[in-house]
A = this chain, B = another copy of it.
Amino acid sequence: MADDLFHIAGKAFSSRLFLGTAGYPNQQVFLDSLTASGAEVVTVSIRRVDMAGGAEGLLDLLQGRAWLLPNTAGCATVKDAVLTAQLAREALDTSWIKLELIGDRETLYPDVEQLVTAAAQLVDDGFTVLPYCTDDPIVCRRLADVGCAAVMPLGAPIGTGLGILNPYNIETICARSTVPVILDAGIGTASDAALAMELGCDAVLLNTAVSKSTDPVRMAGAMGHAVAGGRLARLAGRIPKRLRAEASSPELGLIGG
């Protein structure tokens, strides 16, 4: 929908699907998936240790095709996350950062205490910060209060494909948030992405659900449809759930329905 733009920090997007770049069989499958999905934002992981090294190929290919959102995947301390964000800004020439700061390597769950601290530092340093966080409405509000441009609560732990474990919390966050809400992590299939939008999310970020599916390009297309469908359904105003059946055509004539 050309008339349903979505803004983060003043930048407008028409697609509400963000795509990760990890785990694809090869670069071409990723690029075809990107096209099939219609996504305009792509997140890439920055690792200090390899900053000298390669992969410029993908970066070059993405230039002009997608808005780059570097992330701090794998960081477990404030210092590490902040430094990684700064290196990303230098290397990719963007002040946008998806801030990941995990509490342990087993659950990959965000460490919200450190996350708030790192987010505040990066905001002060001029970054546009999009933090990967828990589905905790108080933490989400706090992240917005320290100046984050959006919040990215999880649906389920990274890579699990379990969908949205707690729709109630996601809906609560969306209803109260002063910044855009982007569901991040846990999506397994199209209906999960549609549900995220129906709950009020402004966008969905996913990676494994596409890259590790049997047919990533087709699944990318599925996710594009699902996000568009979920968004439209949200805007359209769904029927209330009723506990009792109700005939759709109770008393009509020849062509009642």
- What is the interface of chain A, defined by CB distance below 8 A to chain B? 20-24, 43-47, 49-51, 53-56, 58-59, 73-74, 91, 103-113, 116, 134, 136-139, 141-142, 156-162, 165-166, 168-169, 172, 188-195, 198, 207-209, 211-216, 218-219, 221-226, 228-233, 235-250, 252-257
Contact = CB atoms under 8 A, between A and B. Distances in A.
Nearest to A157: B245
Given A44-B255, A191-B230, A214-B237, A165 B159 contact: no
Given A218-B236, A226-B194, A159 B245 contact: yes
A246 B109 CA distance: 11
B112 A246 contact: no
Contacts of A209: 238-239
Copies per assembly: 4
A209 B254 CA distance: 22
Contacts of A198: 189-191
B159 A242 contact: yes
A246 to B, nearest CB: 3
Nearest to A158: B245
A241 B103 contact: no
7 contacts: A47-B253, A109-B137, A109-B245, A208-B246, A211-B257, A214-B236, A215-B235
A193 to B, nearest CB: 8
B240 A161 contact: yes
Nearest to A68: B255
Nearest to A113: B113
B222 A225 contact: no
B23 A249 contact: yes
Going nearest first, the 9 A-B pairs with the smallest beta carbon separation are: A22-B257, A214-B237, A225-B229, A103-B138, A159-B246, A50-B253, A222-B232, A55-B255, A157-B245
